[in-house]
Structure 1
Amino acid sequence: MQQPTLWQTAAMEKKDVRVQLVISPSEIEALDAWRAKQRIWSRSEAIRQLIAEGVKRDGVR
């Protein structure tokens, strides 16, 4: 049986670690536009999904 990937495990974990992020107004505008198009209700979830996609693209399990 195959082990779950890092992102499958992370999806099941409690989300209780906070990370402060400083970005420009144009970056938050782009994030909000992307998450609206993807129908993602929160900025946190949008950022998690973007991180997961970037890491997956680089070949990290």
Structure 2
Amino acid sequence: MFQQFLLIAECSLLALLLTVALLIGIHLYNVKLEEPYLERIFGEEYRRYKESTPRYFGMPKRRNK
């Protein structure tokens, strides 16, 4: 699916920007749906995982001691 978006986006800068915006929107929507589900299924274990793991890039979050 993403490859089709990228092929269309090669035609113009506007199409590329719209494609990127659409993909980010789809991703954020999925995260919004998925995270509460995972918290219900895995509970406190998932919440600890979420606190200690960066979502995208970078160093893991530091724990407050």
The interval holding the TM-score normalised by the smaller chain is 0.3 to 0.5
What TM-score do the two structures reach when normalised by structure 1? 0.33
Query: More helix per residue: 1 or 2?
Result: 2
Structure (1 or 2) with the larger CA radius of gyration: 2
What TM-score do the two structures reach when normalised by structure 2? 0.31
